[in-house]
Structure 1
Amino acid sequence: MFVTMAVFAPALGPTTVDQNMRNSYGYETKYWDSDSGSVETILVGDANLGSLSQGNDRNIGPWTYDDYGRFHPFGTMQDGSDLFTFLVVGSRISLVIGVLSVALSASIAATLALTSAYYKGRVDLSMVLISDAVMAMPQLLLLIMLTTVLRESWINEVYSGGFLLALIFAFTGWTYMWRSIRGPALQISEREWIDAARSFGQRPTTIMRKHMLPYVTGYLLIYGSMTLGGAIISIAGLSFLGLGVAPPTPEWGRAVNLGQNYVRTGSWHISLIPGILITLVVTGFNALGDGIRDAIDPQSDSAGGETAGAGGGA
């Protein structure tokens, strides 16, 4: 459902982001005015001002129409814009940033793990020291510092700051994935076919790509899918704090932040609905990781086996 929301975001929303929040006064909408008994025309921005959700007296809740005949599946936000449109477009932002950060982390982790497993010795020791140094730093504080320092840079303008977030997540989170696949990579490097490839004069890069990488790909899929959920909730957390994706680009954490003052009022939906969606998505990606692990390694603990199997196709 989350991927469907992200892929078909423009078609699912009852309006567009441009009409909904970016240039609402540049569009008009028609509605039936019961007082005058005729069809009237009003600017979308003015219609939003008449559809605010700011408490019990001024509220357009989920699955209702406003006074201008516009349907709002999740209600409206505090500025009168449609919450459903905000969330479906925000799901695309979260998914793109999450997938990009996980892909970069997996690439870095796989490259370093295969290199350290092949050469061992000082190379492996250097990788361990570097990963320990990165893991010793508090990740949340590091994310906040880097997003603040690089906020004025040109790279923050790419994809409304999403590309910068993906890079930061990748270069601060690769250590956990590297730790997960380092052991299997070391095991593979001791197999007979690796020694045979060396004796035939194959280059180290060829050996790592053709004879070692396929046996750690399963681990990358498992930990990558689990890391994706963590990346999405981290993106939401930074947006909640006012960092990360630059406004007015929709992001789920920003919706939670905008509606926190109305949680105890009739406009509870502004924060509660995106909060529930974040929980479901993160839980879903964690369950996906467990499912991939069970499919790759049927003898693992989660699959009901007595002992953990080799995993990863090894």
Structure 2
Amino acid sequence: MSGNVYQRDADRTRRLPVLVTSAAGWALVAGLLALPEFGAVLQFAAEVLPLGAGASSLADSIPTLISRGTIPNQGAYVPGSGWQGTFLGLSPAGAWALRVSLAFLYGGVWCVWLWYGYRLWRREYRDADWTPRDDAVRGFARHRWGQFGLVVVVLFLILALFAPALGPTTMERNVEDPFSYEVSYYDEDAGAVQTVTVGQANLDSTSQGIPERNVGLFSYDRYNRYHPFGTLPSGQDLFTAVALGARVSLFIGLVAITVSAAVSAALALISAYYGGLVDLAIVLLSDATQSLPQLLVVIMLSVVLSQTWIAGLYNGAVLLSLIFALTGWPSLWRAVRGPALQVSERAWVDAADGYGLDSPRTMLRHIFPFVVGYLLVYASMSLGGIIIGAAGLSFLGLGVTAPTPEWGRLVNVGQPLLTTVSWHIAVMPGVLIVIVVTGFNALGDGIRDAIDSETNLENEEEASAAASGAGG
């Protein structure tokens, strides 16, 4: 049954438009796609890693396609002449919407190209005609809740990756050094275009809970600046902070879950392969770690290590990621240990030992491929919890240091104004936290159901029964 399904899938793949016929051609097109945003990649590397001022200057000098410099959204509205200084004379809202649309379109093109690369590899370069992974992919294609989670996660990734370009302004102009930059606006009293520092414009555009001092959703301030999510009590643009906060949350979540998954997978393979006292020692270590209240341990370690050199990496995000990883690995290890123990008792593992294959190679080749699916499921579900944990610490004033934006800190800033006209300050980042965490959980559900052999079997039986009924 699986072979027939694979054959139909292969036939559909061959009927697709043939854009490239080799891995080299696919890589060439991928390189061309990456070239317009190469400068943005260097800027992110210079931001995360301590590469020095020279690397930052080099990254800033490389033009990027989707950037504020290419599609500016700040300008002055002159009566009778329209908008001056914006991209093609569009309104700031229109120019910003165009830049955001291009960023998400570019991310969508990358998703399509990566999927095409997978199909190309499966059709042209994979040795086997069929693998269980094919059934998992087909199972996920029928899982609507999982697909919803995938869409949410992809949109979150694009928001985080393109955060510097998506905001109406920059972190430096908005928060770090606002009084060193100026904006142009049309002064009706003077009847001419005037300039004012960004810092002063922020002070005149605060959202403090009263109609006279509030810039809400999708609004302009008196200086012709467009604010999709309104402004903060300090007058800073909220959407810029939310977009950059998504990058921080993604970084913390990915680093923490990657380290945690690596530790848990290694320990699960070791405990399953050797068993006995080795397994008992790891069980005791896991129990000892899980017996500690994770939140309190994370708070304690973040305070104790706040003055160390590692706390200065990415404004504390690296330290927070490692703390979450080293305190959260037991849950992932317990999820993977059971399947690893089952696989370690299979005949092919004994056969590999009998042929003299060394232990690390046996574990990686003959045990790990059968447990990686479970690792992906629980890792995707745990990632949402890490994002919530990081937001909670920032809400308490810990974790990522100010002025680096973080969603939990934004919720904390807007909490006193939640029942006023400035409700957007707390609601917008709070809603995004809920949506993103739900998306990761839905994605985990979809992956779990897709790799579950019993679920796949039930789907095959239902499809066969439906086909038989239609034929009758």
Normalised-by-shorter TM-score class: over 0.9
Partner of 1:211: 366
Partner of 2:391: 236
2:416 maps to 1:261: yes
**Alignment partners' CA distance in 1, 2:441 and 2:188:** 51
Q: CA deviation at 1:299?
A: 2.9
Partner of 2:244: 89
Q: 2:187 aligns with which of 30, 33, 48?
A: 33
Partner of 2:201: 47
Deviations along 1:201-233, one digit per CA (max 9) or x if unpaired, are 111111111111111110111011101100100
Partner of 1:309: none
**Alignment partners' CA distance in 2, 1:205 and 1:4:** 37
Q: 2:406 aligns with which of 248, 251, 264?
A: 251
Q: CA deviation at 1:304?
A: 8.4
Q: CA deviation at 1:111?
A: 0.2
Runs of 5+ in structure 2 lacking a partner? 1-154, 461-472
Partner of 1:274: 429
**Alignment partners' CA distance in 1, 2:436 and 2:303:** 27
Q: 2:345 aligns with which of 169, 184, 190?
A: 190
Partner of 2:66: none
The count of corresponding residues between Structure 1 and Structure 2 is: 305
Q: 2:231 aligns with which of 76, 91, 94?
A: 76
Identity %: 57
Deviations along 1:13-70, one digit per CA (max 9) or x if unpaired, are 1001111101111111000111111100000000000000011131000110000000
Give the letter for the 1:18 counterpart: E
Partner of 1:7: 161
**Alignment partners' CA distance in 2, 1:223 and 1:126:** 23
**Alignment partners' CA distance in 1, 2:165 and 2:318:** 24
Within-5 A mapping of 1:17-166 = 17-56=171-210, 57-166=212-321
**Alignment partners' CA distance in 2, 1:213 and 1:186:** 11
Give the letter for the 1:158 counterpart: L
Partner of 2:446: 291
Give the letter for the 1:266 counterpart: V
**Alignment partners' CA distance in 2, 1:60 and 1:35:** 22
**Alignment partners' CA distance in 2, 1:283 and 1:63:** 26
**Alignment partners' CA distance in 1, 2:295 and 2:165:** 35
**Alignment partners' CA distance in 1, 2:375 and 2:170:** 36
Give the letter for the 2:348 counterpart: W
**Alignment partners' CA distance in 2, 1:227 and 1:3:** 17
**Alignment partners' CA distance in 1, 2:300 and 2:459:** 43
Q: TM-score, normalised on structure 2?
A: 0.63
**Alignment partners' CA distance in 2, 1:296 and 1:206:** 24
Partner of 2:80: none
Runs of 5+ in structure 1 lacking a partner? 306-314
Q: CA deviation at 1:300?
A: 4.4
**Alignment partners' CA distance in 2, 1:298 and 1:178:** 21
**Alignment partners' CA distance in 2, 1:213 and 1:25:** 55
1:299 match: secondary structure? helix
Give the letter for the 2:190 counterpart: S
**Alignment partners' CA distance in 2, 1:294 and 1:180:** 15
**Alignment partners' CA distance in 2, 1:241 and 1:21:** 21
1:216 match: secondary structure? helix
Q: CA deviation at 1:140?
A: 0.7
**Alignment partners' CA distance in 2, 1:76 and 1:93:** 20
After TM superposition, the runs of 4+ consecutive aligned structure 1 residues lying more than 2 A away are 298-301
**Alignment partners' CA distance in 2, 1:232 and 1:40:** 43
2:348 maps to 1:181: no
Q: TM-score, normalised on structure 1?
A: 0.95
Q: Name the CA shift for 1:114/1:298 in 2 (closer, same or farther; >3 Å).
A: closer
Deviations along 1:245-286, one digit per CA (max 9) or x if unpaired, are 010001000000111111111111111111111011101100
2:306 match: secondary structure? coil
| Structure with the greater alpha carbon radius of gyration | 2
1:259 match: secondary structure? helix
Aligned Cα root-mean-square deviation (Å): 1.5
1:157 match: secondary structure? helix
